[in-house]
Amino acid sequence: MKSPNPGVKLRQGPPPQTKSSDWMDWAKLIAPIVASVVIGVSGLIIQSRVSEAALNKDYVATAMLILKEKPTEQDAELRTWALRVFAEHSPVPLPSVAKKSLYEGPSMMANGLPFGVPRRPAWSLR
């Protein structure tokens, strides 16, 4: 194709690339890689926390089984361990009286009430 003005030459081929377009090309290449790494690492962190919470739940369940049994001289250290596990994973700290009560013997029945407290029906308003 000839230029209408003979002194001006038309440029053939692609336009020259600028530094900003080079940066955009790199960003387009790196963005999916960075996104994949971020998603993978965050998934790993979430999975780790979920499995740690499940393990802590199992420890607390084991500790409660130990504390529900009547204490003997042989299991004093085991009861101490169970109290520490229970206290460590409890969001509300146990008062020292409650710790002592749990250490000395089972203080809860299967219905969750202390020994000697009768269970009232739900419809009772007393």
Identify which has the larger pLDDT, 32 or 22: 32
User: pLDDT of 97-126, one tens digit each?
Assistant: 878 887 887 655 444 544 444 555 555 555
Other C-beta atoms closer than 10 Å to the C-beta of 71 total 16
**Beta partners for 114?**
108
Q: Which residues contact 16 (CB under 8 A, 6 or more apart)?
A: none
Decide if pLDDT at 93 tops 60.
Answer: yes
Q: How far apart are CA 64 and CA 38, in angstroms?
A: 39
pLDDT digits (tens, 9 = 90+) for 49-74: 999 999 999 998 998 888 888 888 88
17 has a pLDDT exceeding 70: no
Cα separation, 52 vs 54, in Å, equals: 5
Note the Cα 25 to chain centre separation in Å: 37
